[in-house]
Chains A and B, each alone.
Chain A
Amino acid sequence: MNQLLSIRGLRTYFYTESGVAKAVDGVDLDIAEGEVLGLVGESGSGKSVTALSILRLIPDPPGRIVAGEVLFNGRDLLKLSWEDIRKIRGNDISMVFQEPMTSLNPVFTIGMQVMEVILAHEDVSREEAYRRAVDILTEVGIPDAANRMNQYPHHFSGGQRQRVMIAIALVLNPSLLIADEPTTALDVTIQAQILDLMLEMKERRKGASILLITHNLAVVAETCDRVAVMYGGKIQEIASIDALFDTPFHPYTHGLLGSIPSVDGTKARRLTVIPGSVPDIYRLPVGCKFVTRCPYAFEPCPDIEPPLIEDAPGHWVRCHLYPNGGKPAVGREPAAVGSHRVPVAPSIDDTLADQAND
């Protein structure tokens, strides 16, 4: 499979009064042609900043992309002039955001907002742009699109607004769609419709890829081919969805999967939890970013950052428990890992007390 987008060593830092926030700190990621890649993480993990960095939408100041390259069709997007990156945006790579309420302009008609993208990028007549806008709105499932062109965003429901956002993002047939939490603000039935629509639109555009950013692992399982799990500004694990859900390698992924209550199947009385909370972005651990919450942490973890290694074909993990011969080193009981490992993770109360003492 050909790589459509390759991110290498991306670092995006925010310089604030409280210090330097290393939101993205060395991310390597490939998106192949035609694939749906999920980027999963909790708030503050750096997943949205990664996406914004691809299109150079990081507000500067305080943010700055300090290192790395983003190769798209052989060109490094980080080296392009503002003029050139504007041509890429919308045309080759486009984005759908979380808030369908705020990402449309309330004082322009829906038609204007769809046509604007076409007119900004292509040398076509208004009539031609109008016709294509009606077509794409019909394609994303807005009934009676010709009449609704003249209506304003407040005439549309949340789900319909997200359909309009998808129409705007796809009207120029980009090869990559970045969707940042596209269904988080929506009800479950609408969420299912929007996810289906995104996959359907992708199928109709052969070779198009989607980067889906979400905190919801169930949404990933519904839609993606591969998943990357982020924590503390770094990719911690990359795998096909089957490998990730069946045999998660990283203790963090393992914990995340245990934290989700299930809609069906057997019901456990208690959820397994990841103790503590996400570390302060200004004071991330020197070694493994997950060390403060990891039940498997041992002697090298606090000081040495493990590399991202491919332990099974296509299954990458950043953890000192690996290489482990392509088998998961984490199981139901942390004790099963081996008695030589000295736990260094503080208990939940210690973590809380530490934060409070800072």
Chain B
Amino acid sequence: MTNDILLDIQNLVVKFPVFGGVLLRRVGEVEAVKGISFQLRQGETLGLVGESGCGKTTVGRAIVNILRAMSYRVEINGRILYRSASGDVDLLPLTRNQMRPYRADIQMVFQDPYSSLNPRKTVDQIVGEPLRIHTKLSRAERAERVRWLLEKVGLSARHVNRYPHEFSGGQRQRIGIARALATNPKIVIADEPVSALDVSIQAQVINLMQDLQEEFGLSYIFIAHDLSVVRHISNRIAVMSWGNIVEIGPAEQIYQHPQHQYSKTLLAAAPRPDPAFNRRRRGRSLS
């Protein structure tokens, strides 16, 4: 990890309009993200934690610039500065076409390994699609790279012609990761990548993500609600509540000496796999 800043989010505000009445006029708005700023450094994992509705997913989607495509007349302000190889660029005002070259650098891994893969496409097509769009590789070269990627994520290259339904949840998440890595991205935004998986499979996917980070020098924005998973994988953590970052800092510091009341509440609520600790805690709360 270095101190080179890769992504500099400045005062990001996202407002979703609310339509109502017979004519579906704009009757109000929901401010999902209320002016947040943070930086992502080269090679680090930044954990974004908070409860449902705190705006963490919206932040991730704003960075890859897909909010306008997802939501009608959404209002986004602020700056998302990306230090690309060809100079700094603010991603926010870019059009679909202007954004395309940067999409190869910033990829996403989604929560639900069932709905995030097209059931009518083979693994070869799913993992190869970003290559078809973003690179000039020939068909044979693409097939070669897909096989290499599958082996990197712990699947067999013999699986290329299979469809998503032929895989388990954990294997599907590996396919999603292979797809995200296809274009050699600098940044991977992972939105709850393990919360739909069983405990034993979660650990496999977390280890895989850490290994890939080391091998390819990736920077992660890891969005999750599970505090123990976030602590395990993150270098720094931002705690979000009601559209604001209430606290940001090194993982150890946030977990051992949380400053903000909300971080304290959140950590105190997290269940621990330690019966003796829980008894001490309960004993305290009774007295």
Q: B102: CB under 8 A from chain A?
A: no
Q: B225: CB under 8 A from chain A?
A: yes
- The answer to whether A261 and B158 touch across the interface, beta carbons within 8 angstroms, is no
**Contact A263 to B270, CB < 8 A, known contacts A188-B51, A273-B207, A274-B203:** yes
Task: Find chain A residues with CB under 8 A from B203 CB.
Answer: 258-261, 271-274
Per-position binary interface string of chain A over residues 219-230, scored 1 when its CB falls under 8 Å from any chain B CB and 0 otherwise = 111100000000
- The answer to whether A241 and B275 touch across the interface, beta carbons within 8 angstroms, is yes
Among A25-33, A46-54, A346-354, the stretch that binds chain B is: A346-354
- The answer to whether B170 and A187 touch across the interface, beta carbons within 8 angstroms, is no
A222 vs B272: C-alpha distance in the bound complex, in angstroms? 7
Partner of A262, one of B155, B228, B267: B228
Partner of A349, one of B156, B269, B270, B276: B156
Task: Find chain B residues with CB under 8 A from A222 CB.
Answer: 271-272, 278
Q: B11: CB under 8 A from chain A?
A: no
- The answer to whether A218 and B201 touch across the interface, beta carbons within 8 angstroms, is no
Task: Find chain A residues with CB under 8 A from B270 CB.
Answer: 188, 218, 263
Q: B101: CB under 8 A from chain A?
A: no
- The answer to whether B271 and A219 touch across the interface, beta carbons within 8 angstroms, is yes
CB distance from B104 to the nearest CB of A (A): 28
A215 vs B206: C-alpha distance in the bound complex, in angstroms? 18
Partner of B210, one of A192, A257, A270: A270
Partner of B51, one of A187, A221, A263, A352: A187
Q: B37: CB under 8 A from chain A?
A: no
- The answer to whether B269 and A191 touch across the interface, beta carbons within 8 angstroms, is yes
Q: A156: CB under 8 A from chain B?
A: no
- The answer to whether A263 and B269 touch across the interface, beta carbons within 8 angstroms, is no
- The answer to whether A257 and B156 touch across the interface, beta carbons within 8 angstroms, is no
Range for the number of chain B residues in contact with chain A: 35 or more
- The answer to whether B225 and A187 touch across the interface, beta carbons within 8 angstroms, is yes
Q: B232: CB under 8 A from chain A?
A: yes
Task: Find chain B residues with CB under 8 A from A151 CB.
Answer: none
A258 vs B232: C-alpha distance in the bound complex, in angstroms? 13
Q: B98: CB under 8 A from chain A?
A: no
SS class, residues of chain B in contact with chain A: helix
Q: B52: CB under 8 A from chain A?
A: yes
A275 vs B231: C-alpha distance in the bound complex, in angstroms? 23
CB distance from A186 to the nearest CB of B (A): 9
Per-position binary interface string of chain B over residues 194-211, scored 1 when its CB falls under 8 Å from any chain A CB and 0 otherwise = 000011111110110010
- The answer to whether A352 and B198 touch across the interface, beta carbons within 8 angstroms, is no
CB distance from B61 to the nearest CB of A (A): 20
Task: Find chain B residues with CB under 8 A from A270 CB.
Answer: 207, 210
A354 vs B275: C-alpha distance in the bound complex, in angstroms? 39
CB distance from A244 to the nearest CB of B (A): 8
Task: Find chain B residues with CB under 8 A from A256 CB.
Answer: 199-200
- The answer to whether A353 and B158 touch across the interface, beta carbons within 8 angstroms, is yes
Chain A positions 300-315 with a Cβ under 8 Å from a chain B Cβ: none
- Return the chain B residue nearest A357 by Cβ: B158
Q: A217: CB under 8 A from chain B?
A: yes
A356 vs B210: C-alpha distance in the bound complex, in angstroms? 26
Chain A positions 200-251 with a Cβ under 8 Å from a chain B Cβ: 215-222, 241-242, 245
- The answer to whether A259 and B166 touch across the interface, beta carbons within 8 angstroms, is no
- The answer to whether A271 and B272 touch across the interface, beta carbons within 8 angstroms, is no
A352 vs B199: C-alpha distance in the bound complex, in angstroms? 18
- Return the chain B residue nearest A219 by Cβ: B271
Task: Find chain A residues with CB under 8 A from B74 CB.
Answer: none
Chain B positions 164-199 with a Cβ under 8 Å from a chain A Cβ: 166, 168, 170-171, 198-199
Q: B95: CB under 8 A from chain A?
A: no
- The answer to whether A273 and B271 touch across the interface, beta carbons within 8 angstroms, is no
- The answer to whether B269 and A188 touch across the interface, beta carbons within 8 angstroms, is yes
Partner of A188, one of B170, B225, B275: B225
- The answer to whether B154 and A356 touch across the interface, beta carbons within 8 angstroms, is no
- The answer to whether A221 and B271 touch across the interface, beta carbons within 8 angstroms, is yes
Task: Find chain B residues with CB under 8 A from A264 CB.
Answer: 255-256, 272
CB distance from A290 to the nearest CB of B (A): 11
Partner of B273, one of A215, A218, A255, A273: A218
**Contact A242 to B228, CB < 8 A, known contacts A259-B199, A356-B162:** no
- Return the chain B residue nearest A218 by Cβ: B271
CB distance from A37 to the nearest CB of B (A): 14
Partner of B272, one of A221, A242, A272, A352: A221
- The answer to whether B200 and A42 touch across the interface, beta carbons within 8 angstroms, is yes
Q: A355: CB under 8 A from chain B?
A: yes
Subset of 20 A-B contacts with CB under 8 Å: A42-B201, A191-B271, A192-B268, A216-B271, A221-B271, A222-B271, A241-B275, A256-B200, A260-B199, A260-B228, A261-B206, A262-B228, A264-B256, A270-B207, A270-B210, A271-B207, A271-B232, A277-B168, A353-B158, A356-B158
New A-B pairs, 12, CB < 8 Å, besides A217-B273, A221-B272, A356-B162? A188-B225, A188-B227, A188-B266, A192-B269, A221-B274, A245-B273, A261-B206, A261-B232, A270-B210, A271-B207, A273-B200, A352-B171
> Which A residues lie at the B interface, using CB under 8 A?
42-43, 187-189, 191-192, 195, 215-222, 241-242, 245, 255-264, 267, 269-275, 277-278, 348-349, 352-353, 355-356
CB-CB nearest 4 A-B residue pairs: A261-B232, A259-B203, A218-B271, A187-B51
